Amino acid sequence: MRSTGKLIKSKLKFDGRKAKLELFEDEYGISPGQACVFYHKDEIGERVLGGGWISKN
């Protein structure tokens, strides 16, 4: 959730043009209007998969 923070395991569900993200750990300070970026971590490193804007928490 933070550009310099740890990666948080989550599940991303798509519904048409919208997506819902379920976090598997508590995270505080999330606000509408902030960006959310999705990463994938593997043996090579971390890659950006995509992102969007938070509409509600």
Question: What integer best gives the mean pLDDT of the chain?
Answer: 84
10 has a pLDDT exceeding 70: yes
The whole-number pLDDT of residue 1 equals 56
The whole-number pLDDT of residue 43 equals 92
The whole-number pLDDT of residue 3 equals 64
The helix or strand, by DSSP H or E, that contains position 11, with its residue range, turns out to be: strand 10-15
Question: What gap in Å lies between CA 39 and CA 16, rounded to an integer?
Answer: 21
Does 46 or 4 have the greater pLDDT score? 46
The whole-number pLDDT of residue 24 equals 93
